[in-house]
Structures are given as structure tokens and as C-alpha cells.
Amino acid sequence: MIYLYQVIFYRPILNVLVYFYETIAGRDFGVAIILITLLIRFILYPLFHKSAKHQMALQRLQPKIKKIQEIHKNDKQKQTEATMALYKEHGVNPFLSIILLIVQLPILLTLYRIILSGLGAGGIGSGLYAFVPAPNTINALFLGILNLKQRSVILVLLAAVAQYFQSRLAIYRAPNTVPSPAEKMARQMMFIGPVITIVIFYNLPAGVGLYWLISSLFSIVQQIIVNKKVRDQYGD
């Protein structure tokens, strides 16, 4: 398991990060993190896009789900079968967001490990491919101001705010209807998510928080695109 983590996540991310740092990032570690964040999000874009689209579609299906629950209120098995059939009919996978969370965790762990290594040749050199030159040291300052090896409260707060707006964009409210359980849960997560972000990233190096901030900003743009496509699909 450790070997697979090294091969699939740690070494590729480390090498791309160092390559960006030595080339197009102008030896700015923060810029290198931004670039690799964008690269990761572009690679995973189809998965993230599908997840966001499914979440929006799932909220629009709540009236039908509620009707199924009323029809089969005394038979949980038929209720589950009818709900899953509805998901299949509309091509919705309610578990996709869990898969995305699982994918994100090793990426965050990798960035955390790279920053903790000390960002020196002795800490990262052994993990580099032969064609990637090992820098003597890596300057941890972002734009010459922010030390990405230390925590940054401002960066964490910005990430929390970005996540709030992304969650807000992901909420669908059907006109002239009582909020569904899914909508109520989404509205709760709109506030709970940023709080969790603050709790998790508060004591982590600012470099990890920078990744989460850029990823959240990317999600905002992506959510706007998804919302437009879903509105066109459902005609509302």
C-alpha cells in the first residue's frame, strides 16, 4: 500500500512540483503549488464536473424522491429500489462526492509531507526522477512575503470563504416549494464546510492551505459552468 502511494501520488506530485519550481514558476514555491493545483484540477475535471452535476441533479429530484418515500413508506426495500431506479434513470450517482474526497486526501497528505521534508535536496532529492534536477534548496516564500512552511490564518480564512461561496452556488431551491431535506442539508454544509476547513487547515503549513484555496476557487468557476448546464437541461 505504501509502495502504491509512493508510485501513484508522492513521486509524481513531488517531481511535477519541483519541475514547475525550477522552470515556469520562477523559483517561487507558491506559484509552483498554484500551477500543480490547476494541473490536478484539470486532470480530475471530468470527475469533479460529474460530481457537481450529480449533486445539482440530485437536489432537483427531491420532489420525486419524496413521492417515492410516501408511496413506499411501509416498505423500505421497495423505497430503496425505486430510489435507485430513479437515480439510474437520470444517471445520478449520489456516492461520487465520497470518491472525490478519497482522491483529495492523498494529495493533501503528499503536499504536507513534501513541505515537512524541509524542502531541501536531502529531503526531496531521493524521490526525484533522473531527468528532474534536484535543487539545493527550495525557497518557501510565496511572492517573497508568505512563508509556506508556516501556518497562515489569513490563507485559511480565504479558503473557508471560497468554500462557502462554492457551497452556496451548489444549492438549488425549487420555486414555491418547501425546502427538501437535501436542500436543508446543503444549507447546513454551506456553513459547516468552511468551519471544518478552518479546523483542519489552521495548524497545517500555509502551502497546504494555498492548495485548498486555489482548488476551491477552481470549484467556484466549475460550479458556475455546471449550474448553467443543469439549468439548460432541466429548463429552469
Pick the more confident residue, 12 or 60. 12
pLDDT of residue 189: 72
C-alpha cell at 218: 477552481
pLDDT bracket for residue 197 (50, 70, 90): confident
H/E run at residue 156:
helix 153-169
Say whether pLDDT at 13 is over 70: yes
Query: Is the pLDDT at 177 greater than 70, yes or no?
Result: no
The pLDDT of residue 157: 93
Q: What's the CA gap between 170 and 108, in Å, rounded?
A: 23
Q: What is the mean pLDDT of residues 90-118?
A: 76
Summarised one tens digit per residue, pLDDT across range 111-166 is 888 887 766 555 565 677 778 777 777 788 888 888 888 889 999 999 999 988 88
What confidence score (pLDDT) does residue 233 get? 61
Average pLDDT over residues 32-58: 82
One-letter amino acid at 207 equals G
Half-sphere exposure of 81 toward its Cβ, with a 13 Å CA cutoff? 6
Domain interval for residue 110: 2-234
Q: Report the percent of the chain where pLDDT is more than 70.
A: 76
State the average pLDDT over residues 12-35.
89
The partner residues of 137 in beta bridges, in order of sequence, read: 120
The torsion region of residue 38 among left (phi > 0), alpha (psi -120 to 50) and beta comes to alpha
Query: What total number of domains does the chain contain?
Result: 1
Q: DSSP 3-state helix, strand, coil percentages of the chain (rounded to 5)? A: 70, 5, 25
**What pLDDT, in 10s, does the model give residues 50-88?**
777 767 767 666 667 777 777 776 767 777 777 777 777
